[in-house]
Amino acid sequence: MRIAIVDESPARASVIQEGLAELDDCEIFVLSGRDRLLAQIGEIAPDIVLMDLGNPSRDVLEEYFAVSRVLDRPIAMFVDESDEESIAASVEAGVSAYVVDGLAASRIRSLLDLAVRRFRAFARLQADLAEARGRLAEREAVDKAKRILMDSRGLPEPEAYAELRRTAMNQGRRIADIAEALITAHELMGRT
């Protein structure tokens, strides 16, 4: 079975490729670029095309599948009505699948399940990364707010931190929020 993965994020494409590698007798092709996308699909002649929902070329590809006479076998979006659940899950995970006519439904389903799992795993990785970045930014804000207090009120570092913590507790807010507010106020006063 020949599988084409169309994804402008090479990182995600490789996560999916790795996941599908465990399937027997599958040949996997990854297409990340926009140039010659249709020509490449024509050359590969895939049985299945997996494409992320955020890809702006989806409309181009759908038109190609609908009207192209280059492909010997028609390709349709995987919308067998008995498989509503699979499709809903794939849309949820952010992947669309186009399947060549006549491919066994059971094979499609196991492949799609696997792809959906990999998409979800990638989304989790990204969420973790975003959270880690957020935590880093918060720590930087707290450090900056501490320095402002140390400079403007001559407090030693532990006192400056204690002041931030006290204010946060009194106002029922997070230390990072208090730090942000302090930095903003400081900037508004023209003291950067």
Partner 1 sequence: MKTEMNIGFLPLVDACLPILAQEHGFAEEQGLTLRLVKDVSWATVLDRLLYGHSDAAHLVAPLAIATTLGRGRPAQPLSVPFVLGLNGNAITMRPELAARVSPAGRLGDPAIVGAALAEIALARAAAGNPMRFGVVHRYSSHNYMMRYWLAACGIRPDKDVEIATVPPPFCADALAAGEVDAICVGEPWNSVAVERGAGVIVLATAQLWRRGVEKVLAFRESVMEQQRGSVEALILALRKAGAHFVDPDNWEANAAILARKEYLDGDARLIKRAISDRLLLAQGQETVHFPDFMFQYREAANFPWVSQAQWFYTQMVRWDGLEFDPAEAQKAAQVFRPDVYRSALAGTGEPLPGASSKVEGSLSGPLAVSMQQGDMVMTNNRFFDGLVFDPEDLPGYLAKLP
Specify whether the CB–CB gap between 11 and 125 falls below 8 A: no
Give the shortest CB-67-to-partner 1 separation in angstroms.
8
- Nearest distance from C-beta of residue 45 to partner 1, angstroms: 20
Classify 84 as helix, strand or coil.
Answer: helix
Among 96, 118, 146, 175, binds partner 1 (CB under 8 A): 96
> Does 113 sit near partner 1 (CB under 8 A)?
no
Nearest distance in Å: CB 177, partner 1: 22
| Least distance from partner 1 to the Cβ atom of residue 99, Å | 12
Give the residue with the Cβ less far from partner 1, 59 or 72. 59
Residue with tokens 């930095």: 183
Comparing CB distances to partner 1, the nearer of 58 and 186 is: 58
Whichever of 10 and 54 has its CB closer to partner 1, that residue is 54
Pairing of strands 95-100, 75-77: antiparallel
Question: By C-beta, is 15 or 77 nearer to partner 1?
Answer: 77
- Contacts of residue 167, defined as CB under 8 A and 6 or more positions apart, other chains included, come to 178
For 172: left if phi > 0, alpha if psi spans -120 to 50, otherwise beta; the answer is: left
Smallest distance from partner 1 to CB 85, Å: 10
Q: Any contact of residue 101 with partner 1 (CB under 8 A)?
A: no
Q: List the beta bridge partners of residue 49.
A: 4, 98
Query: What part of residues 36-95 is at the interface with partner 1 (CB under 8 A)?
Result: 53-60, 62-63, 66-67, 76-77, 79, 81, 87-88, 91-92
Please state, in angstroms and rounded to a whole number, the distance separating the CA atoms of residues 173 and 165.
9
Please list, residue by residue across 67-103, b when 16 or more beta carbons sit within 10 angstroms of its beta carbon and e when fewer do. eeeeeeeebeebeeeebeebbebbeebbbbbbbbeeb
CB of 20 closer than 8 Å to CB of 43: no
User: By the criterion CB under 8 A, which residues form the site for partner 1?
Assistant: 34, 53-60, 62-63, 66-67, 76-77, 79, 81, 87-88, 91-92, 96
